[in-house]
Structure 1
Amino acid sequence: MKIVIPVLSLETGGTRFIYQIANEMVDKGHRVEIVIPENASVAWPLRAQLTRVKELAPDTIPPGDFILPNFYPTVFPAWESKKGRVVRLSLGYEPLWVADKTKALSSYLIDAPIVSLSEWHRQLIIKETGRNSTVIPGGVDTRFFCPHPKESLSSGRLKIAYILRSKEHGYTWKGTDDFWEACRRLTRIIPCFDVRIAAPEGANYPAPFPYEIVKASSDREMSLFYARADIFVSTSHFESFSMPPLEAMACGTAVITTDNGGNRDYAKSGENCLLVPPGDIQQLTGALAQLLTREAERKRIALAGLQFVRPWTWRQSADKLEALLLRLAHV
């Protein structure tokens, strides 16, 4: 089948879902064409056809069996083009954070099937719009995301890894201030640890202690970022799915994450991670102290995460999308 995916950009973050699912669908024998504005960034290696247009508009959307818009501004030109069956791919429920909440909400009310990324995400869309959706979760490419030796084995200092998303770029829900405050409190009781940051937007932060920023712009570099750390921390207040904790598990690193909703399908507190309430700095500090001071517990959680993540493949995600589209094609 021919699948058209109009996108505003393919930069880092949630667009990984699009790039991975597009490549997997190509590998399964489908024709996939990604349509993108002429000056938009593409950070991922694509096997799908890439078509650049002056702007995403009904007349620039190519025909296909299915059109999968993923962000609310892409939904309307896809729907108005009438060039294929529209399936509304939701990478996150936009009315939670965008300025134009009315328009974002209306993109869920057109008569098109919806794809969500987790059960929490599905329930949120039902609550806010009254519309059901099909859950197709993300996955992990274990060819890249896999264990590597921990740097603490040679340095003697445990490392905490964190992805810093900039509030100035609109990432207001990532809980960055919670992370820094927890680390500040942690220095009072455990002085010997290092913090390593990946900053996709190039953000910097005047933290009250030294930290290291590393370049991690490829899957290989992200894998090393996760794997060389002893603990990975995610502090989002909400997420539709949340891939970084799953990727860190695949790299053999113990995970501490907030209960952000979208990770409930895979994050099992006390089993493959430690789960804390969003915004609860006291519990976050306690979880960090627990894993920094209890080596056996840290290694147990890391190993459980590594074993748990194995079935979470992008091929499984593509299989579910293919099944949905084939079912819709026969309706």
Structure 2
Amino acid sequence: MRICYLIPGCGVSGGIAVICQHTERLQARGHEVYLIVDGRLGDMSWFPGQSVPVLPLADYPEAVDILIASSWSTAARVPLLPAKRHGYFVQSDETRFHPPGSGWEHITRLSYVIPFNYLTEARWIRTWLQTNFGHKAALVPNGLDASIFYPCEPLAPRGRRPRILLEGAIGLPYKGMYEAFAAVKEIDAEIWCVSSFGKPDPAWRCDRFFSSVPMDQMRAIYSSCDLLLKLSRVEGFFGPPMEMMACGGAVVVGRVTGYDEYIVDGENALVVDPLDIPAARAAVQRLLEDTALRERLIANGRATAARWTWEASIDRLEQALQGFLAEPSRALSAQQRAVAESVAYFYGELRGEPMLPKPRAIPSNIHLAADPTELLVGRLRKQAWFRVLARWLVRGYQQWRSLVKAG
């Protein structure tokens, strides 16, 4: 199969990393795979062994079997590009990325109305798509790449104090980094932080900061720390807690959508309300003080990570894609394409960059039906005497308004 994933950019991202796992492994199975960038091309060497061709939108290949949207910002573009089947790999309810009631929230929700061939990484997203939009999505769970995440030599020897890792994009409030820093503020520990977007506030206590870390360097950071605290409020199937488990660390997470795909409170992690800072602080302190509990969670976490293999997930992905091609009903109809074009039109309006071709100019000898008054005013505007009369009337009105105010 010739398969393309449309991605919004090339920067370090958990969502893009998952797509790279899809594309690299599909390519290894003999499929012709491309990453198409709807934006600026960039360096993707942050993903270990990245070898799938990365193309700009202008070089979109011919005879594509399946084209897959990877996010809300690419979903509007995908139906406009030629392919036998159009898919949408949904990694979260991305309406939550935007302010409630905003145009961006609404246009993101409309992306789920388009009748794509749906794929998703989490059971809760599959249920959400079925319940809210009537889509039956193929489930392709995320895996853990054991060749990337495993215990290794720490970046710095551990000292007397324990070391706590906070991970998440600081510039995105829903990643909960403010709450995480507040939770560890009074704990006697060394604080490390990893962020792909944004830096710690100078008022926050941070002993070591890492920005946009390549994936194959993350295991050294995980292996340097005793505990990961992650208080995201929006996730799909979040990878860092499982990565920390694979590297031999303990985990405290917020109760966020997707946490229960593999986390069991008290078995392989501790789970708290992501906005309850005192509860998060107490959970971290408990793990630091209770050695037996910490060691039990670490052992169970390693066993959890070992069960989530990428090969099993790619088996599911390959079967789903072959199924999409096998069923004639999986192709977009003319009516469905029209819906997709309307979504693309309004998305382009919001971002100030049209996604659809400009309409052809209407020949001067063709007159469209219009309100008779508008046609009359339009003709009068072309007359010099009418423009003079209009200016005289406006001046007279302004003088009259001045006299009324003065009186």
TM-score (norm 2): 0.73
Q: Give 1:260's aligned residue.
A: 256
Q: Give 2:243's aligned residue.
A: 247
Q: Indicate the RMSD between aligned Cα atoms, in angstroms.
A: 2.1
Aligned equivalents of 1:25 and 1:282: distance in 2? 45
Structure 1 counterpart of 2:32, one-letter code = R
Q: Is structure 2 residue 22 aligned with structure 1 residue 26?
A: no
How much does 1:127 deviate? 3.9
Structure 1 residues 139, 124: closer, same or farther in 2, change over 3 A? same
Aligned with residue 110 of structure 1, among 114, 133, 137: 114
How much does 1:137 deviate? 1.6
Q: Give 1:322's aligned residue.
A: 318
How much does 1:229 deviate? 0.6
Aligned equivalents of 2:260 and 2:192: distance in 1? 26
Structure 1 residues 207, 140: closer, same or farther in 2, change over 3 A? farther
Aligned with residue 224 of structure 1, among 220, 224, 229: 220
Larger radius of gyration: 2
Aligned length: 319
Aligned equivalents of 1:164 and 1:101: distance in 2? 22
Q: Percent identity, aligned pairs only?
A: 23
Q: Give 2:94's aligned residue.
A: 94
Q: Deviations over 1:186-222 (max 9, x none)?
A: x2xx42x111111222512224434211356222211
Contact between 2:168 and 2:230, CA under 8 Å: does it hold in 1? no
Contact between 1:118 and 1:263, CA under 8 Å: does it hold in 2? no
Aligned with residue 139 of structure 1, among 132, 139, 143: 143
Gaps of 5+ in 2: 328-407
Secondary structure, counterpart of 1:257 in structure 2:
strand
Secondary structure, counterpart of 1:86 in structure 2:
strand
Q: Deviations over 1:35-88 (max 9, x none)?
A: 11462334334221221235xxxx946431111111223223321223220111
Aligned equivalents of 2:36 and 2:154: distance in 1? 40
Aligned equivalents of 1:153 and 1:213: distance in 2? 16
Q: Give 1:15's aligned residue.
A: 16
Alignment of 1:183-194 (within 5 A): 183-184=184-185, 187=186, 190-191=187-188, 193-194=189-190
Secondary structure, counterpart of 2:54 in structure 1:
strand
Contact between 1:216 and 1:225, CA under 8 Å: does it hold in 2? no
Aligned equivalents of 1:79 and 1:266: distance in 2? 34
How much does 1:182 deviate? 1.0
Q: Is structure 2 residue 279 aligned with structure 1 residue 278?
A: no
Aligned equivalents of 1:42 and 1:152: distance in 2? 28
Contact between 2:155 and 2:221, CA under 8 Å: does it hold in 1? no
Aligned with residue 165 of structure 1, among 162, 169, 183: 169
Gaps of 5+ in 1: none
Structure 2 counterpart of 1:139, one-letter code = G
Contact between 2:192 and 2:206, CA under 8 Å: does it hold in 1? no
Secondary structure, counterpart of 1:15 in structure 2:
helix
Aligned equivalents of 2:317 and 2:230: distance in 1? 27
Aligned equivalents of 1:9 and 1:172: distance in 2? 21
Aligned equivalents of 1:86 and 1:208: distance in 2? 45
Aligned equivalents of 1:41 and 1:129: distance in 2? 34
Contact between 1:151 and 1:229, CA under 8 Å: does it hold in 2? no
Alignment of 1:24-63 (within 5 A): 24-37=25-38, 39-43=40-44, 44=47, 45-54=49-58, 60=60, 62-63=62-63
Structure 1 residues 139, 207: closer, same or farther in 2, change over 3 A? farther
Aligned equivalents of 2:320 and 2:312: distance in 1? 13
Contact between 2:84 and 2:325, CA under 8 Å: does it hold in 1? no
Structure 1 residues 111, 103: closer, same or farther in 2, change over 3 A? same
Structure 1 counterpart of 2:283, one-letter code = A
Secondary structure, counterpart of 2:77 in structure 1:
helix
Aligned equivalents of 1:215 and 1:239: distance in 2? 20
Aligned with residue 197 of structure 1, among 185, 193, 196: 193
Contact between 1:152 and 1:159, CA under 8 Å: does it hold in 2? no
Contact between 2:197 and 2:212, CA under 8 Å: does it hold in 1? no
Q: Give 2:159's aligned residue.
A: 155
